[in-house]
Amino acid sequence: MTAANIRQEVIADNIANVNTPNYKRSVVEFEELLAREIYDEEPDGKLKLVRTHDKHLPFEPLAFHAEPQIVQDNSTTMRMDKNNVDIDIEMASLAKNQLYYNAIATQFGGYVTTMRNAITSGQQ
């Protein structure tokens, strides 16, 4: 959710600077970094194991360090004033990010409800 919040701010900055000369758009990279951390070290591409109980077989615990990164896109220039913000792409990215955030929030809400029901044994 943090990455989606940061992405929302970056997209808003891009949209706000659509007419600023020499402005270069920025993007947030996170999902790819997290996927690389989870899967790249395993030769077969499977998810690494996570030990959830002391009596489970021992293995080295996972340490995820993926953080959202804001990266400036200097590869393109859309106009003569060297601005590379395309409003159509930014608006589509904004809509995609909003859907992504809503899906995560819904999933997290379901998880909290499940935990609350487990704690209260389903009693209201």
What phi, psi does 71 have (nearest 5°)? -120, 130
What are the pLDDT digits (tens) for 34-85?
Answer: 888 777 655 555 666 666 777 776 666 556 678 999 999 998 877 889 999 9
Amino acid at 41: E
The Cα angle at residue 108 between residues 36 and 103, in degrees rounded to 5: 75
Asked if 63 and 36 touch (Cβ cutoff 8 Å), the reply is: no
pLDDT score for 80: 87
Cβ-based burial of 7 (10 A; exposed 0-12, middle 13-18, buried ≥19): buried
Q: Which residues contact 52 (CB under 8 A, 6 or more apart)?
A: none
> Domain map of the chain by residue range?
2-30+67-120
What phi, psi does 67 have (nearest 5°)? -125, 145
* Global confidence as pTM: 0.73
Asked if 64 and 31 touch (Cβ cutoff 8 Å), the reply is: no
Largest CA distance in the chain: 65
Cβ-based burial of 75 (10 A; exposed 0-12, middle 13-18, buried ≥19): exposed
What are the pLDDT digits (tens) for 104-124?
Answer: 999 999 999 999 888 887 665
- Model confidence at 103, in pLDDT bands (50, 70, 90)? very high
